[in-house]
Structure 1
Amino acid sequence: MPLNGPSPMPGDLLEFYRPVYQHWGVYVGRGYVVHLTDQDGFSSLSSAFGAKAVVRKDRIKKVAADCIYRVNNKYDKKRSPYPPGKIVRAAMERVGEILDYSVTSANCEHFVTELRYGDSFSDQVDNAVMAVGVGAGAVAFAGVIAALVFASTRNRRHNQ
């Protein structure tokens, strides 16, 4: 459970680096994190298949599961966080709830940003949407180029 950076303070957002995505939680003190996850407490991504997730309070060590994690309050530059006590209280009140889960609109990052800032949002989703859009644009561009090359070759053969 390697921590990258400063030790968390109550109310901080924690970002856990998984192989393909990041998992998010709120530090509530004494080595515990509240997060939106599957029944086992490891991943919210696996909840995507069942469209349900549970709010759990787990030890950081369990959630990290040997992955690197860090304090990441990156949105503090754009938004004012609630006071730490309010964040922790709100997080603790949600423990045990079963919530609808959506990768694009109700994931673990949406959950923690709502607790800290009062609004749910996710750069992870925005970045993925942008990457898909760029990828789709590149594929479309390649298709147009291929069609032009094909048409040019066909026209050349026809004119000969």
Structure 2
Amino acid sequence: MTAPSHPEMEFNDCFSLTYPGNPYPGDLIEVFRPGYQHWALYLGDGYVINIAPTDGVPASFASAKSMFSTKAVVKMQLLKDVVGNDTYRINNKYDEMYSPLPVDEVMKRSEFIIGQEVAYDLLVNNCEHFVTLLRYGEGISEQANRAISTIGFVTAAVGAFSLLGLFSKRQRQKYY
């Protein structure tokens, strides 16, 4: 059994930030913070489950603070409190690659972990990994993959420039 589809969210609407739609239990919620996205999973009745740094910080700063955190706490909060003044959308973007778990299983997994402290790592165990693990049984984060790719590219570029710098220095020494 898969999660109910959103008939009001046709392909063109799924990228709209102005029409968040009506989430169903088990839906992934993407919250747009300045410079990054925070992720939550809709539980129903206006509540979501998400992770936040263990020290209490306002929702709008929670994910930014988590860049430096190694632990997070699983919270059940009102969607409106998590979103604050930011925008959000329903974004079950991995549904074509992974089958969503049955909603009742997602809810049981969620109830079990609320209030627990969990390991956190921006690149391998972040808020998107957390909610996709609940929905699909597998932690996925496109945002982290992009960051890892960027870090890899920058590291390779710095290495290449360093190598070129050393190479040209050696070449100059040969000729003098």
Give TM-score, length-normalised by structure 1: 0.82
Cα distance, 1:8–1:103 mapped onto 2, change above 3 Å? same
Corresponding residue for residue 74 of structure 2? 55
Aligned mate of 2:101, from 57, 74, 82: 82
Deviation at 1:92, TM superposition (A): 2.8
Q: Please give the secondary structure, in 2, of the residue aligned with 1:75.
A: coil
Q: Please give the secondary structure, in 1, of the residue aligned with 2:94.
A: helix
Aligned mate of 1:138, from 138, 157, 161: 157
Deviation at 1:148, TM superposition (A): 4.1
**CA offsets 1:122-147 (integer angstroms, 9 cap, x no match):** 22222111110111112222233334
**CA offsets 1:11-69 (integer angstroms, 9 cap, x no match):** 11111122232211101122221101133462245245442211111122211121221
**CA offsets 1:61-80 (integer angstroms, 9 cap, x no match):** 21112122111111111110
Corresponding residue for residue 115 of structure 1? 134
CA distance in 2, matches of 1:41, 1:27: 20
Cα distance, 1:44–1:89 mapped onto 2, change above 3 Å? farther
CA distance in 2, matches of 1:97, 1:141: 44
Q: Does the CA contact (< 8 Å) of 1:15 and 1:70 recur in 2?
A: yes
CA distance in 1, matches of 2:120, 2:130: 10
Aligned mate of 1:69, from 66, 88, 92: 88
RMSD: 2.3
Q: Identity of aligned pairs, percent?
A: 35
Deviation at 1:96, TM superposition (A): 1.4
CA distance in 2, matches of 1:44, 1:56: 13
Give TM-score, length-normalised by structure 2: 0.75
110-119 vs 141-150, which moves further: 141-150
Deviation at 1:102, TM superposition (A): 2.0
Q: Does the CA contact (< 8 Å) of 1:54 and 1:99 recur in 2?
A: yes
Give the aligned residue type for 1:137: A
Q: Please give the secondary structure, in 2, of the residue aligned with 1:77.
A: coil
Structure 2: tracts of 5 or more residues without a match: 1-16
88-97 vs 24-33, which moves further: 88-97
